[in-house]
A and B are shown apart, each in its own frame.
Chain A
Amino acid sequence: MKRLRAWGNDLMGFLFPLETDRWLTVLRIGLGLQVAVYALFLKNDWHYLFAGTGKGLVSRELGEAITSLDSPFIPKLGWLVALGGHIGVGEEMVLSVAWAGLLCAGCFLLLGLFCRPAAIIAWFLHLCAAESGGLLAYGADNFTTMGLFYLMLAPLPDRYSLDQWLVNTEPKDPQLLGFWQRVLQLHMCIVYFTGGLAKCLGSGWWDGSNLWRALTRPPFNIISPDILIRFKYVLPVLGISICLLEVGYIFFIWMKKTRLVWLIGILGMHIAIGLTMEMYLFALVMIVLNLAAFGVDSGVLFLRHRQRVRAVFPKQLSQ
């Protein structure tokens, strides 16, 4: 019984470490940038992607019908369009307002103005677009929704937000800040471990052929195959390195000695994905999530902040 209690205490200690809100600043600014860039990238195609039957690329209703097979309670743009219909606002106007709302929410998050409402609106509108897009969605959407979900629940506002400057609120509970960072950290570990494990199970990652296929496959074929062929002996090494980086993340990111190296490796991988495959949104959201989860502690960002925890939260820590 004693051992069980000790184990429970250890678990609670692990889940609720003392932490400052700097990681939250990184997450807020990073996701604000992500949401704003997402809206700007899709500016010219927004109506075309999300219009109803016969007005766009594929029908928004089709994507929403697929989503509704999972659950009719998942938010979607169709809800907003129906709401607009009740008050006499057309579909086109509703879609424009949704796009503008998303861009504004992103900008507000960047500045730290009305942090909590901005995070909730950004999460809701982004989720609506991702779910209505259905067939058009890809990995970056899931990670953005995931990040916004945690941001919306985390103890906002952080010290570097405009909210904090305008209304001087009490510092947040450092254990609660630590809890939400821990949740993000654990989630990232699951992401990389399962992603890496799935890659290890494919023969193409061991002989470099998957990297060749990834980099020569449209629309990711930015680098000419004639250039890639010169590095054909490096491809197996890179393929195995990606597998090891991802599978090893869950172990080596927690160790002080290896954290910085592993984080730089993972960030390097995402920067390379962004530049060589033009997957800018995917690269950006992964970099933001990694920096918020482990970047603050590793020394990549805010060096020496750990020593300042006591200075920032003396009251809470003395309890």
Chain B
Amino acid sequence: MTSKRIYAAWAGIHFFLITVICLRGIFALVATDATILPSALNTSARSGEVVLASVLGKDLAASNPWRLGIATYLHAAGSQAGYGFFAPNIPAYYKLILELYYEDGHIEYDVPHVQGGAAALRLDSLLDRLADPLYEPLREVTVKMLVLSVWQEHSDVKKIRAIFGSVNPPNISDFEHGKRESFQPLFSYDFSLRNEENQSTTQ
């Protein structure tokens, strides 16, 4: 009976943490006005999200054992994120186009690529994250690494301009009227590869 109670207690804590993670995800969607719910609820949702974050120890110091313990456990259990895939709406699709400037003056275009379809799905997942304001501090360094991966295949390139933008597919009625997807640049970076200096511009 004692071992049963231990199992039951573990299940209680386990599902409590998972429920908190999931509710936090839902509150975050409402707080950012991404749902069909009235905007009047945004503030309450934001407060709810903060409370749930504190349950997970997110307001504690980064080195706090309680916070580290919860985070490690949730990652180990594969439950560190909620389950709002493709929700509340389908996110935009993002593309990184690379303009390769060669020594002789000619320009070629390329994109970061992988061999298999499963890895391509992961590359798209990476590009989606780059558009997220949460990942803004990592954007430049990640783009730089993606550029570097392409540069290794084109060692005679003098400069690479990386243009990151969203691809806006037409809705059903626009498609019926002949409209096709359009590319909207969001920001670009110029990488001078010889001296490893780069300049960035944001649109």
- Chain A interface (Cβ < 8 Å from any Cβ of B): 11-12, 15-16, 38, 41-45, 48-49, 53-54, 56-59, 62, 66-67, 69-75, 127, 130-131, 133, 135-139, 141-149, 175-176, 179, 182-183, 186-187, 190-192, 194-195, 197-205, 208-210, 212-214, 216-219, 225, 229, 232, 235, 278-281
Tell me which residues from 91 to 132 in chain B have a Cβ below 8 Å from any Cβ of chain A: 93, 112, 114-126, 129
Task: Please encode chain B, from 82 to 98, with 1 for each CB lying within 8 Å of some chain A CB and 0 for all others.
Answer: 11111111100100000
- Per the bound structure, the CA–CA distance linking A38 and B121 in Å amounts to 13
How far is A137 from B26 in the complex, measured between Cα atoms in Å?
Answer: 21
A59-B14 contact in complex given A142-B80, A198-B26, A278-B117, C-beta closer than 8 Å:
no
**Nearest-CB residue, chain A, relative to B143:** A58
10 contacts between A and B (CB under 8 A): A48-B149, A58-B145, A73-B72, A145-B78, A186-B15, A187-B18, A200-B88, A209-B171, A235-B172, A278-B117
CA distance A88 to B22 in the complex (A): 44
With A144-B78, A218-B93, A279-B121 as contacts: A202 and B169 at CB distance below 8 Å: no
Residues of B within 8 A of A133 (CB): 122
Choice from A145, A186, A202, A235 contacting B36 with Cβ under 8 Å:
A202
Cβ of A202 and Cβ of B114 under 8 Å apart? no
Cβ of B2 to closest chain A Cβ, rounded Å: 12
Nearest CB of A to B140, in Å: 12
Q: Are B142 and A58 closer than 8 Å at their CB atoms?
A: yes
Given A131-B75, A232-B172: A137 and B145 interface contact (C-beta under 8 Å): no
Known contacts A74-B71, A278-B117; A217 and B26 CB within 8 A of each other:
no
User: Is B8 a contact of A66 with CB atoms below 8 Å?
Assistant: no
Q: Select B120's contact among A199, A200, A201, A219, beta carbons within 8 Å.
A: A219
The complex places the Cα of A115 from the Cα of B77 at a distance, in Å, of: 19
Q: B144 to nearest A CB, angstroms?
A: 9
CA of A187 to CA of B145, assembled, Å: 37
B71 touches A71 (CB 8 A): yes
| B-chain residues with CB within 8 Å of residue A192 when the two chains form the complex | 83
Q: A136-B126, A229-B175 are in contact. Are A44 and B87 (CB under 8 A)?
A: no
User: What total of chain B residues lie within 8 Å of the partner, measured CB to CB?
Assistant: 69
Q: Please, which residues of chain A bring their CB within 8 A of the CB of B71?
A: 70-71, 74
Q: Is the beta-carbon distance between A135 and B84 smaller than 8 angstroms?
A: no
From A43, A69, A204, B89 is in contact (CB under 8 Å) with A204
Question: What is the predominant secondary structure among interface residues of chain A facing chain B?
Answer: helix
CA distance A41 to B117 in the complex (A): 8
Closest residue of B by beta carbon distance from A203: B36
- Is B25 an interface residue when CB atoms closer than 8 A count as contact? yes
Contact B84 A198 (CB under 8 A): yes
Q: A57-B123, A137-B125, A195-B87 are in contact. Are A142 and B79 (CB under 8 A)?
A: yes
- Nearest-CB distance from B97 to chain A (Å)? 13
Q: Is B35 interfacial (CB-CB < 8 Å)? A: yes
Whether B146 contacts A57 by the Cβ 8 Å rule is yes
Residues of A within 8 A of B88 (CB): 198-205
Which of B75, B84, B122, B176 is A49 in contact with, Cβ under 8 Å? B122
Contact of B81 with A by CB under 8 A? yes
Given the complex, which residues of B lie within 8 Å of A209, measured CB to CB?
A: 171-172
Bound: A144/B129 CA distance, A: 21
Look across to chain A and name the residue whose beta carbon is closest to the beta carbon of B124: A219
Besides A57-B146, A194-B26, 12 other CB < 8 A contacts?
Answer: A49-B122, A56-B149, A59-B145, A70-B72, A176-B7, A187-B15, A199-B88, A201-B26, A202-B88, A217-B169, A218-B93, A235-B172
